Amino acid sequence: MKTNKKFLIYLLVAGVLSLSVFAYRPIRPIADSGWDSSYDSSSSWDSSSSWDSSSSWDSGSSWSSSSSSSSRGDGNPFVGLIIFLIIIIIIIAITRNSKSSGSSNFSSYVDISDEILAKYGIDKEAFKKMVYEKYVKIQNDWTNFNYDGLQQNLTDELYNTYLMQLDALKLKKQKNMMSDFDLINCKIYGVTEENGMLNVKTYLRVTMYDYVVDDKGTVLRGTDKRKIDIEYTITFVKSLKSGKDTYCPNCGAKMEMNASGKCPYCGSTVVIDAKDFVMSKKTCVGQRMR
């Protein structure tokens, strides 16, 4: 009985996949600040997108379906056989993957220990809260063309990239609408100190509405009916030699932050002000529709 049920499930999946092969039409990518997210017709996680992979939506590709439909009905008996074999391979792959964990292909990101973070004066939960809040603010500033707000939370290099992309949106009289954010997960998976800069690497997973409209409010890309579930790796940086004096909260001694995160005079832990961190890189590492 169980075998028959599995066979019927496989048969149903094969039928659906067969229809999808012939009915497939690519969907225009949507934006996210820095052109990060891209919605395709599959429900799998897309690991190829990153903020610096392109500078515009119009990359010269055509999204018409005429070329994809030109080969239908050619009468070649081997086409059906090839499609059937591909479907069987996909079914086997889905079956194997379902036995392993994974709502996400990127669940391997692991929080580093509190002890390591303490060496750099970072409070884990406070920093995670800051990551999500800054992410949401950056997205909202992108939606509202708030250049000053973006400049406050981005490195100069990243801000200049966003500036050019927003100017392109304005010329097209388009607006990237993002709203109704929900935090799914946030992790801190790396901290390094290089050339007087503290680099904190984070993993963030959120859901939100993300679509593009014209000046009349008509949806051009994406959808305002369904949320996207999207994963990022985001790097935040802060200068450890910003010119501002740091004082120990316990003994009041003037000091410079060091890898131990402690006052060299009395040994008290000094926590870095997370407000001074800015985003230096944001990469989409996974995405699907809800």
Interatomic CA distance for residues 80 and 177, integer angstroms? 42
Who wins on pLDDT, 33 or 233? 233
pLDDT tens-place string over residues 54-85? 333 333 333 333 333 333 445 566 777 777 78
Q: What is the mean pLDDT of residues 207-235?
A: 96
Determine the pLDDT at residue 115. 92
Return the bridge partners of 109, or none: none
Determine the pLDDT at residue 15. 60
Label the pairing between strands 278-289 and 219-239: antiparallel
Who wins on pLDDT, 198 or 40? 198
Return the bridge partners of 114, or none: none
Determine the pLDDT at residue 11. 59
> Which amino acid belongs to residue 183?
L
pLDDT tens-place string over residues 110-156? 999 999 999 888 999 999 999 999 999 999 999 999 999 999 999 99
Topology annotation, domain 114-289: Nuclear Transport Factor 2; Chain: A, (3.10.450)
What average pLDDT does the structure give for the chain? 74
Of the candidates 165, 176, 167, 172, the one whose C-alpha atom is nearest the C-alpha of residue 211 is 176
| pLDDT of 41 higher than 50 | no
Q: How far is CA 276 from the centre of its chain?
A: 22
pLDDT tens-place string over residues 264-278? 777 766 555 555 899
How far apart, in Å, are the Cα atoms of 120 and each of 26, 123, 129? Answer: 46, 9, 17
Of the candidates 29, 33, 32, 31, the one whose C-alpha atom is nearest the C-alpha of residue 163 is 33
pLDDT tens-place string over residues 226-237? 999 999 999 999
Who wins on pLDDT, 117 or 2? 117
DSSP, collapsed to helix, strand or coil, labels residue 214 as strand
Domain boundaries, the chain: 114-289
| pLDDT of 159 higher than 80 | yes
Q: Indicate the pLDDT class of residue 29, thresholds 50, 70 and 90.
A: very low
pTM score of the predicted model: 0.62
Label the pairing between strands 254-255 and 278-289: unpaired
| pLDDT of 172 higher than 90 | yes
